[in-house]
Structures are given as C-alpha cells and as structure tokens.
Amino acid sequence: MPYKSYPITKIAGLFLAFYVCFGMDFIFAQTVLSVEISDDTGASRVVQFGFDESATNGYDSGIDQLAPPPAPFGVFDVRLTGGPFDLYRDVRPYSENATTWTLQITPANGATQVVLNWEFNPQFVSRGTTLQAGAQSIHMRDVQNTTLPALTQLVEFSFDPPVEIQTILQGTEGFRLFSAPYKWMHIRDVTNSLWTQGFQNATTPAGDPNVFYWDEAASTFIPAEDGFTEITPARGLTVFVYDDDDYDGIPDGFPKVLTHQGYMRTDNVSVPLGWSGDEATLGWNLVGNPFEEPLLLAELTIGADYQHLAPYYYVWNPEANDHKGAYLIFEQGGAFIPGISFDGIIQPSQAFWVRAIGANPELTLKREHLQATRGEKMNTDDSSLLFRLQANGLTGHTAIFLSDDPNRKNVPFLGPLRSEWLELVTIDTDSYSTIRYENPIDSEEIIIPMDILTNLSGVATLWYELSPAMLTQSDSMLCDVLQDVCHTLQESGSIDISLHPDSALIDKITIDKNHPSQQIINPKNVHRFEIVIQPKSTVVDENHDLPEIITLAQNYPNPFNPTTNITYALPESGNVRLDVFNVMGQRVATLVNDQKPAGYHTVTFDASRLASGTYLYRLQAGNQVITKKLLLIK
C-alpha cells in the first residue's frame, strides 16, 4: 500500500514483516531455544523447545519434529520425552504458568562426559529458563553451557513466564526518559509498541535514530545501535515518542499503554556513574528506576546509599507546561516548591538525572527504597521568593531562599527537552540556577542577577510571591536592567514585561526529534533583572548600648530615589568623615566631616542632582576605612 507523507525525520518505507515478528506481541510468536548435546566420542544432536501462538500441547505437524525410535543400547541418543511422542522439537502454546520440557540423554559407549551448549537469544524463552540436572540447577541466561557425567539421565528445562506491568504515557509527541524495570531487558522490551528507527533491530533500521543514551564524559547523547542490546541495570534511555505508532500517517494519540514484561530484581543495584570534572556541563548521569515499583528518593541516605552526589534529582514531566513538558526537581531535605518540585517518587520505567560532584561517585538503589509516601511540602517558615513567568502556554519558574544552612546548595538549571524555551533562572558564576540559596548576613544587601532564556517574542507576565518570613525579615525589589526601572515587591503581584529572543541562545537550542537538548547553558555576560534583598536588621536601633566596634550599615532603602539613610556606629568619640564617590573615584558629596560622639548616627543622603547609577560611600573613623556600594535609580 502507498504510505502517507510524514515529517522527514521518519523514514519513507516500512518493513511490515519485521514489525509483525518482533512487535509488542513477539512473545506469542514462535520463540525457540536450541540446545546442542554432545559427548566426547564426537556424537551430537540438537533439540529445540519453545512457544508458538498456534501450537497445542500435543504433536503439531509442521511445527514439532518427531524423533525416530530409540537407538540400541550403547549408541548416543537424545530426545524430548514425557508426551505421547518423543520429539527433537517440541513447541507449546504460551502459558501463564511454568512450562517444563524433559530431555532424556543416553551417551555412547566409551563416553566420559556430556556437554550441553545453547546460544542466548533475545527472546524470553532463553531469559526465563532453568536447567535442572540432578542436584545441579542453572539459569540459562547466566551461562551458555554445562558439562554432565556420561550417564543415562533426565534433564529438565523449566520456563517461568515473565511478569508484567503497564506504563501509561500521557501528554503529546516528544521526548521521554525511560528505564528497564526488570532484569535482562533490551531496548525493544522497553520501547515496546512505540515506533523506533535508525538502528539495527528497531521497528525499522532506516531513518534518523530516536533512541539515545547519555555519555557523561562527552556531555552528549549517543544514538542506540541495536534494539536487542541489553540495558545496563539502572541506566536511563532518552526516546522520542511519536504520535503515530505504526507509520500509517494516522496519529494514534495519547495516552499510550506500554506493557513491560520481565523478571523482577531481588538484589540491590549498584548504579554505574561517571564524573569527569567540576565544570558545569560535567558529572550529569541519566539513571533509571531498575524496579517494577515506585522508587522513593527521600529514602536515599548519604553514606549508606550514595557518595559524591549532589542532593537534587530531575525528572522530565511531559504533562507540565500545558503538555509541552518541563524538568521538575526533588531536593533532598529541601522544600516542595509549586511549579518547580516533584514528590521524589520515580515511577517504574522512568529515568531521572543525578549529578556527580566528586571522584568515584556511588549510588546504590535497593528494594527497601520502594515506599510510596509523599515528599515534603513547603514550610511556611521558609524565607522564600518565588517567580513565575508565563507566555504562549509556557511557564518558567525560579526560587530564592534565605538560609544560613551551609548544606543547602544552589540547584542548577537544565535545558528542557523541547524546541520552545521560556525559562527563568538566577545566575551563578559559571552556570544558571533554578533554586538559589543566599545566606542573609546581617547588615549586608543581597543582589541576585536573574535572566530570561527564551526564543520567543511578545509580552509575558512575571508573577512573584514572597513568603511571610521573607516579608518579615527583608525588603525586596525587582529591577529591570533593560527598562531601567525598579519595582518594590509586596506579598504577591505581577508585572508585564516584553520578551526579547536571544540569538546566541537560539543557536544552542537544537531540539528536534533526533537531537535531544544540550543540558547546560553557560551564562551570558549580561542579564535582564536584578533582585535586591535588603535585610531589615540592617536598620540599626539607636537605643542600643554603645557599640563595641566601628561599623557602617548598608544604606536603606537601596536602590533608592532620591534619598536614602546611612547609619554608622562609633564605640568612642572621634573625627568622622563620610563621603560619596562615583565609580570613577570622583567625590560627589561629603555627608559628614566633624567630631562625633560615641554611639549610633544616621545621615540622609539626597541624590536629586545626580544621575542614576552605582556609587560608593566611604566612612573614615579613627584608623579605619569602610566602603560600601549604593544604587540610585531614577
């Protein structure tokens, strides 16, 4: 039949027979394991057993193969027995219960040993079969041969059918992060009924690949090479999920239901991790939940379960941002932030990002971590400032916390797995952050650069929300550097702003069906906003006892227009000089030049005649000189 046109990233033909043989229901198609039995006299015979959807438990002409009458005593002979006929090939209907085949072996006279060889193949019949010979029990997945004494004996092959779970994909066409929830799974087992292309044993080998691994050292995605490659336990996959599952030109829509079959892991999984250095683009590892039940990240403990890992984890949620997708974060011991956080539960078949922060990182995932409880909710005592940017059905989030906990570290920003960006970030020295922590040192002003990463234009709405603790502890302002205007932040509110696409950023966004995202974007030299946080404790109470040392407080308010107050403290009387300079070092005002008594003093600086900008104010008292910055915005 002719095929309907489709985007160029899909191929122009379909190998229908291949898909029928190896699609979602391949376990019900003919799957046979061949075993060669030989002795050391040179005699050998191959027997086969397995399943076919059209087979019966009796003899099936054209499927089974009859064995001839038994050979005379002393002549090598093997056959599958136990039914009305002896067989060389015994194919059964698939059963949800264990299926057993019995092999009778008669070695030749003079033989000293019998060797059984079998070749592992990607079907479940080889992954789920145990060989029992006397007291010896061998899982045929783990080895490919065994040696037995040269005796007339019976060997049993017992196949345990795989268990299964269902994975439901919501959202729309786009990238997903997958893992293998069972032992010995291949890429085909995980992608199941989804369309795959561009590698051997995909739905079709033609076209560009749509399944990828992550390479930590190279900081890039690597295309899959073979659909029957066994997935390393706890290693994640990135897959572009097409709307059209069978390439007939008709979208199949969402949700999609994947049936994953396999064998449960009962032991702990040591996760293979890489760390290639401290650069912002390094140390990222895509890890998968290796179990068939939800994995609770909150149960992981440092030392016992992981070493040299950052305490934050990322999942890609394709349903966020109006089904356009967004990364959500779980921070170990951190707050639950609406729009930014998820509950720390990793579903079966789901992968997530972790970051190594030192040499020899370690992570062990255990069945004891499989507990379906919820993550922490935001504590109302947290001193927080949340921002939310909305436009064109997309939402960007960032959060700022005031905390003196030295264990709280900034949480980096990851570029989304979609082609449209509307991201809100704060800026560190060498990277962007989604969650930022600042230590509210008394009498120190905090200025935090914030920027918009977008390839969109038009108007967006920037929403903000301050927690009660933040309102109590500090005064906050949002300054738009581009528009040269500052906004005093109340409990909550919104500001309409214009969007300006960044051409340099657009060049880096190469997201399409065959190019997953660059994960880390290095900061630019400029930024759109500055968040100014002024701790209220910096306004000194002049009813204190006499100060013990000379201090100069941060001016308040700051930024200001046109007046601001500057407070200084003297432990004893003396000559004091307080000057204001521009950034060129030119004195623009002298506020104090006189003898002053011990105590707290406040002076008002009126900058009506000065232009907007950054200025320095300097206190000289005794043998000390203290300088601070202030910001005038008109």
Ordered by where they begin, the domains of the chain are 26-159 (no CATH), 163-376 (no CATH), 379-538 (no CATH), 540-632 (2.60.40.1930)
- Please report, as a single letter, which amino acid is at residue 314: Y
Q: Per DSSP, what are the bridge partners of residue 263? A: 183
Q: Which residue has the tokens 């779970």?
A: 165
Q: What are phi and psi of 127, to 5 degrees?
A: -85, -20
Chain segment 19-77, per-residue pLDDT in tens: 222 233 333 345 788 999 999 999 999 999 999 888 999 999 989 999 999 999 899 99
Q: How far apart are CA 375 and CA 298, in angstroms?
A: 7
Residue-by-residue DSSP string for 492-545: EEEEEEEE---HHHHHH---BTTBPPPS--PPPS--SEEEEEEEGGGS--TTSP
Average pLDDT, the chain: 86
Chain segment 607-621, per-residue pLDDT in tens: 999 999 899 999 999
Q: How far apart are CA 166 and CA 303, in angstroms?
A: 34
Q: Is 443 left (phi over 0), alpha (psi -120 to 50) or beta?
A: left
Mean pLDDT in residue range 222-251: 94
For position 435, what pLDDT does the model report? 95
Mean pLDDT in residue range 217-233: 93
Under 8 Å between Cβ of 500 and 415: no
Query: How far is C-alpha 295 from the geometric centre of its chain's CA atoms?
Result: 14
Q: Has residue 634 got a pLDDT over 60?
A: yes
CA dihedral 75, 80, 83, 86 (to 10 degrees): -40
Percentage, residues of the chain above pLDDT 90: 58
Cβ count within 10 A of residue 108: 17
For position 258, what pLDDT does the model report? 94
Q: Has residue 236 got a pLDDT over 70?
A: yes
Pairwise pLDDT comparison (286 vs 135), residue with the higher score:
286
Pick from 268-277, 317-326, 545-554 the range whose average pLDDT is largest. Answer: 268-277
For position 6, what pLDDT does the model report? 29
Show the tokens assigned to 363. Answer: 């992570």
Pairwise pLDDT comparison (623 vs 539), residue with the higher score:
623
pLDDT band with cut points at 50, 70 and 90 for residue 526: confident
pLDDT band with cut points at 50, 70 and 90 for residue 339: very high
For position 297, what pLDDT does the model report? 94
Mean pLDDT in residue range 394-408: 91
For position 271, what pLDDT does the model report? 96
Cβ count within 10 A of residue 7: 9
Q: How far apart are CA 292 and CA 367, in angstroms?
A: 10
For position 495, what pLDDT does the model report? 93
Q: How far apart are CA 385 and CA 401, in angstroms?
A: 6
Chain segment 111-142, per-residue pLDDT in tens: 999 999 998 777 777 788 999 998 899 999 88
Q: How far apart are CA 553 and CA 443, in angstroms?
A: 6
Under 8 Å between Cβ of 618 and 578: yes
Chain segment 536-579, per-residue pLDDT in tens: 654 444 445 678 889 898 888 888 889 998 989 899 999 999 99
- Least confident stretch, 6-20, 54-68, 266-280, 531-545: 6-20
Mean pLDDT in residue range 198-204: 95
Mean pLDDT in residue range 522-532: 80
Q: What are phi and psi of 572, to 5 degrees?
A: -150, 165
Whose CA is closest to 610, among 587, 632, 577?
Answer: 632
Percentage, residues of the chain above pLDDT 70: 88
Q: Per DSSP, what are the bridge partners of residue 451? A: 425
Query: How far is C-alpha 79 from the geometric centre of its chain's CA atoms?
Result: 52
Mean pLDDT in residue range 487-494: 90
Q: How far apart are CA 59 and CA 54, in angstroms?
A: 12
